Amino acid sequence: MEKQILALQIAHILGEEYPRDWVQQQIETPKQSSHGDLAFPCFPLAKTLKKSPHLIAEEVSSQLKHPIFKDVQTVGGYINIFLDQGFVAEHTLNQFYQDPEAFGAHEFGKGKTIVLDMSAPNIAKPFSMGHLRSTVIGNALSNLAQKCGYETVKINYIGDYGTQFGKLLAAYLKWGQEESLKQNPIQELTRVYVKFHHASKEDPSFIDEGREWFKKLEDNDEEAIALWKWFKAVSLEEFEKIYNLLSITFDLTRGEAYYNDKMDTTIDMLQEKGLLEKSDGAQVVRLDEEELPPCLIQKSNGTTIYATRDITAAIDRKQTYNFDEALYVVGHEQTLHFQQIKHVLKKADFAWADQLKHISFGMMLQDGKKMSTRQGKTVLLEQVLQEAISQAANNIKEKNPQLKNAEEVAEQVGVGAVIFHDLKHDRRNDVEFSLEDMLTFEGHTAPYLQYTYARTVSLLEKGNFDPNNPVTDVQTASAWPLIKTIRLFPEVIEKAYQEYDPSKLAKHLLDVARHFNKFYALTKVVGSAEEQALLSLIYAVNYQLKDGLSILGIQAPENM
């Protein structure tokens, strides 16, 4: 609110040349409290107004008047605003208690639908740490979208088709052991797949054999189909264990193979529109005008590739859900692929093609290198989750052996640690896999946030706080940084969604916890003259931590 008020007044003073939105973008939050709560730099105005920034600051500041502004100062070309702390505190808490669930929510997505293509592990391969990123980023974005009013559809688009399955079929028929597949399916399928990869380096004929088996799969060969269905069934069972641990569900789980009998329609449509061209016997759509390489639609041997399936899937999803945005939460190495998909659809006159957005993210690295199933270098997500839970259980046994629901809390803490370790990073950056960092229960971690939340629960219980009878007049000066931080929640939610960046919310929650713990260290709450007002503030902190963690897909235990 205060930013909008300040921006409106400054824009009015400066005139039409400086619109309110531009002014608001310039407003800063000073790092030092001595420089105020808000600051407006006048340097960008100097050239146009032909005055020094200091003089502009003096002239503008003299005209700023509002009850929320307790003091207005100028320092070296900056206008520094000191807010009326009591007014802002009361306004913030009144706004929160009016409807706690709606605090931070928005309605700009109301009546609109977002489809998210996320997680998408490949069958017959282990669910690695690399797949964690798409899964948890996609889930958090879905929750953020819902907080902004959107309807969401989460699609787990399973990788169950493509040339790699021809290689897998060939590999299993050469070296596979049926009993091993029944006992530990993913391990056995990974073993033969890695063996095939190494063997094909020595003997290129293996590659041809893999292609032949994929062609059989496309031609509905009985043996190929039976094995492929078996591999798929055992893989989905294994994946479900992971999703249950992460508490993540999907509105639709569908494999690429679903579109096998629908791709001919897509190819015919592209042919009718005159977009297909032959290139070395293959069918492609040229994208020269976009300065992109041709998009391969059909190989010379008649097989299709995942571009054909993704184009078909996009058309199907638009017809089914009439989405306003379709988000593909997929690693940045697929950037070219999604550029090609979008531009093929645009050339085919689908006006909604611009609604497709590739939400790229960096790689999960191990010792600075990309994890690879083919090379046999991967870290299994289930192992990491179980180890995190085990370490959390050990910490609980050491620090709080009397905890009643220790097993449940250990799972919430361990899984939360793994999810938060990913989401606290800007999604576009690579993340170095480090079990040690992930399982540290101090600092910038989910356990720190969960412990802070449990601390607020304990305080509220000690003070017998009733959220139906809050006192919103907080006068304690040590509470001011905390009030200013929780007040930012609506702005953080909006930015986190609009920039498709859950790390903005993760960092905000860390700020809330840090300011709360600092406030609590300096302030007596239970038994103080301001007890009920301070507990009213703490309940708002409690609610925001739980709400924020939930949006990130992390549970908040009441006791730790």
Summarised one tens digit per residue, pLDDT across range 85-109 is 999 999 999 999 999 999 999 999 9
Average pLDDT of the chain is 93
Structure confidence by residue, pLDDT tens digits, 160-175: 987 889 999 999 999 9
- The string of pLDDT tens digits covering residues 218-255 is 888 999 999 999 999 989 998 999 999 999 999 999 99
- Mean pLDDT, range 407-424, rounded to an integer: 95
What homologous superfamily does CATH list for 119-370? HUPs (3.40.50.620)
Contact indicator for 253, 119 with CB cutoff of 8 Å: no
Statement: residue 193 has pLDDT above 60: yes
DSSP 453-475: HHHHHHHHHHTT--TTS------
* pLDDT above 70 coverage of the chain, percent: 98
The pair of three-digit structure tokens given for residue 181, joined into one six-digit string: 């597949």
Tell whether the model's pLDDT for residue 379 goes beyond 70.
no
Question: How is the beta sheet containing 431-432 ordered, strand by strand?
Answer: 369-370, 364-366, 431-432
In angstroms, rounded to a whole number, what is the distance separating the alpha carbons of residues 39 and 313? 49
Is residue 533's pLDDT more than 80?
Answer: yes
Tell me the two tokens of residue 408.
């449940």
Main-chain phi, psi angles of 131, to 5 degrees? -75, -20
The structure tokens listed for 184 are 């530990």
Q: Which amino acid is at 395?
A: N
- pLDDT(266) > 70: yes
CATH superfamily membership of 381-551: Isoleucyl-tRNA Synthetase; Domain 1 (1.10.730.10)
d(CA 364, CA 425): 11
CA distances from 98 to 92, 302, 505, 540 (A): 10, 62, 23, 12
Shortest CA distance to 131 belongs to which of 288, 363, 299? 363
Average pLDDT over every residue of 150-168:
92
What does the pLDDT read at residue 377? Answer: 54
CA angle 144, 127, 417 (to 5 degrees): 50
Give the strand order in the sheet containing 38-41: 38-41, 78-83, 69-75
Every domain of the chain and the residues it spans: 2-83, 119-370, 381-551
Strands 78-83 and 38-41: antiparallel
Please give the CATH topology (third level) of the domain spanning 2-83: Gyrase A; domain 2 (3.30.1360)
Which pTM does this prediction carry? 0.91
Stretch 508-515: mean pLDDT = 97
CA distances from 192 to 126, 158, 166, 274, 467 (A): 13, 21, 12, 43, 59
Q: How far apart are CA 116 and CA 113, in angstroms?
A: 10
Strand partners, 325: 114
Q: Are 20 and 11 in contact (CB under 8 A)?
A: yes
CA–CA separation, 371 and 129 (whole Å): 8
